Amino acid sequence: MKKTKVKEGIKIKRSRKKKAEVWISAILYTLVATMALILILEAGVPILERLKDTTTFTKTKEALLNLDEHIQAVANEGEGSQRVVNLDIKDGKLSVVDNQIVWEFETKSRIVDPRTSQNIGNLVITSNANVRTYETEDNFVVQTSIKNDTFTVRINKTGSEENWQEINTSNLIDRMSFNDNILDGTFSFSINNVPESTIGLGYTMMVPPGNNTNLGRAKIIAHVNSTYAEYDLEFTLESYADFLITKVKNFVPNN
């Protein structure tokens, strides 16, 4: 009887151990499945966000193009013509600025390449592009906004491609400012610290020319032909930048 009891006791212990192993295995499988599900969700969320933002962008673009068609139709039909247009835009910010309808939409998805601009009829699509350019009688002006501040650079006009005039690189920048606060200082440019490289004949030009808004970047180029060298001095202002990029290009020595 004692032997039987001992054997039964051993059987009971083994049975409990097997049940415990089964439960541990089940818990491990559950954890693995949960981890796999979390990884799938984390990988899929950015894709879903991109699809959502792309859909919003596409629908709004089509709505604005449709609105433009109605505006052109009314303008062509003459006085008294009317249209009722349903403009359903839920996301982003819609406003009217300088007689332009502007829609702003922030997204982390790369729907449009940054600092680029493309035209579809009267619709202008830009990304991270807020450079503005205009011309006065004496100056080329480029400016961009950084939060609540406006950075402006004013460069003197000199001659043209057909009419070269005396040019001095130290007199090119007429003014640089944040809002109405003028940045004091003297702006001088030379090649290899050679004084003769700063003075010669040439002209200045702005790219793109004329009055523009929502540009990714704008350039003002001074073409200089001095006794030392002939070269282009290029000033570039990019969107949301609080500085001016200066480069020397197309350098040809005159020695």
Q: Are residue 102 and residue 153 in the same domain, yes or no?
A: no
Q: Are residue 95 and residue 167 in the same domain, yes or no?
A: no
Better pLDDT: 127 or 173: 173
Tell me the one-letter amino acid at 147.
Answer: K
Is residue 231 within 8 A of residue 224, CB to CB? The reply is yes
pLDDT of 60 above 70: yes
The answer as to whether 126 is a domain residue is: no
The answer as to whether 167 is a domain residue is: yes
**How many domains are contained in the chain?**
2
| DSSP class per residue in 107-134 | -SS-SS-TTEEEEETTEEEEES--EEEE
Tens digits of residue pLDDT in 99-133: 778 877 787 777 777 777 777 887 777 777 889 99
Q: Which domain holds residue 142?
A: 131-253
Is residue 82 within 8 A of residue 74, CB to CB? The reply is yes
* Domain end marker among 78, 111, 144: 111
Q: Are residue 39 and residue 104 in the same domain, yes or no?
A: yes
Q: Are residue 152 and residue 41 in the same domain, yes or no?
A: no
Q: Are residue 247 and residue 150 in the same domain, yes or no?
A: yes
As a whole-number percent, the residues of the chain with pLDDT over 90 amount to 30
Q: Are residue 136 and residue 249 in the same domain, yes or no?
A: yes
Q: Are residue 84 and residue 42 in the same domain, yes or no?
A: yes
pLDDT of 16 above 60: no
Q: Are residue 3 and residue 99 in the same domain, yes or no?
A: yes
The answer as to whether 6 is a domain residue is: yes
Is residue 81 within 8 A of residue 74, CB to CB? The reply is yes
Rounded Cα distance between 233 and 170, Å, is: 12
Q: Are residue 245 and residue 210 in the same domain, yes or no?
A: yes
Rounded Cα distance between 144 and 131, Å, is: 5
Q: Are residue 154 and residue 50 in the same domain, yes or no?
A: no
The answer as to whether 125 is a domain residue is: no
Q: Are residue 72 and residue 136 in the same domain, yes or no?
A: no
The answer as to whether 118 is a domain residue is: no
pLDDT category, 183, cuts 50, 70, 90? Answer: confident
Tokens 């650079």 belong to: 153
Cα torsion 170, 171, 173, 176 to 10°: value is: 90
Q: Are residue 19 and residue 103 in the same domain, yes or no?
A: yes
